Chains A and B, each alone.
Chain A
Amino acid sequence: MRGPSRALGAAAAVLALGFTAACGDSGGVGGAEAAKQDKATAGETVTLNYWTWFPPEATLKEAISAFEKANPNIKINLREFDSADYQKQLPLALNGGQSLDLVGVQISAMTNTVREQLRPVADWQDELPAGWRSDLNTTMVTQTEKAAKDGKLYSVPLGSIGSSVMLSNAAMLKELGIPFPKTADELKAAVDKIKKEKPGVTPVVFTGEPWWQEEMLFTIAGQTSPSLSDDILAGRKKWNDPALVKALTDYKSLFDKGIISKSVLSLKGTRPAEQFTSGKAAFLVDGSWQSSMLSAAYRKANKIGLTDVGASAFPVVESGGSPAARGYAEGGLAIPKTSKHVAEAAKFVSFMAVGAGVDVWSKDLVLVPAKNGFKPDESVLTSQAARDGYAAVAAVVAGAGSARNSNQSFLNQVEGNAILDVLRGQSTPQAAADKMQKEWASRRYDTQ
Chain B
Amino acid sequence: MSAYPTTARREATAPRPAAHPEPSTAHQVGRRRRTRRALLAAAVFLSPLAVFYGIYYLYAFGFLADMSTKQTSLSFTDVTDVGLENFRLVLTDPAFHTALLNNLIFAAVSIVAALTIGFFLAVSLASGVRFRRLFYAVFLLPSLIPLSLFATVFGRMLETDDGAVNTALRSMGLGSLTQDWLGSTGPAYTALFVLLVYLVGLPVMYYTSDLSTLNTSVLEAAMIDGAKAGQMYRLILFPMLRGTHRTVILSVLLGSFRAFDVVYFSSNGQPGGRTQITGTYLYNTMMGSGRVGYASAAAVIVLVIAIAVSAVQILLERRSK
Contacts and interface: CB of A to CB of B under 8 A. Distances in A.
B180 interface: yes
A14 B72 CA distance: 28
A108 to B, nearest CB: 10
A267 B75 contact: no
A421 B184 CA distance: 9
Nearest to B77: A28
B23 interface: no
Given A95-B77, A409-B291, A22 B59 contact: yes
Contacts of B53: 15
A126 to B, nearest CB: 27
Contact of B183 (A4, A7, A262, A427): A262
Given A26-B66, A117-B75, A447-B291, A4 B54 contact: no
Given A1-B39, A14-B54, A448-B289, A22 B271 contact: no
Interface stretch (B109-117, B156-164, B228-236, B254-262): B156-164
Contacts, number: 177
Contacts of A5: 39
Interface string A87-115: 01001101100000000000000001110
Interface string A396-423: 0000000000111110111001101100
B268 A268 contact: yes
A42 interface: no
Contacts of B156: 271
Contacts of A7: 40, 43
A408 B287 contact: yes
SS class of chain A's interface: helix, strand, loop or mixed?
A: helix
B75 A265 contact: no
Contact of B180 (A91, A114, A262): A262
B284 A22 contact: no
B195 interface: no
Nearest to A32: B77
B290 A3 contact: no
Given A15-B58, A444-B93, A268 B77 contact: no
B36 A447 contact: no
A91 B75 contact: yes
Contact of A266 (B66, B72, B180, B294): B180
Contacts of A28: 75-77
15 contacts: A3-B36, A3-B40, A18-B54, A18-B58, A26-B66, A91-B74, A113-B289, A210-B268, A266-B180, A406-B288, A413-B281, A417-B271, A420-B271, A420-B272, A444-B93
Given A11-B43, A268-B268, 14 more contacts: A4-B43, A8-B43, A11-B47, A18-B54, A18-B58, A26-B72, A94-B75, A263-B180, A266-B182, A268-B155, A414-B95, A418-B272, A426-B184, A448-B290
Interface of B: 32, 35-36, 39-40, 42-43, 47, 50-51, 53-55, 58-63, 65-67, 70-80, 89, 92-93, 95, 155-156, 158-161, 163, 180-184, 268-273, 281, 284-291, 294
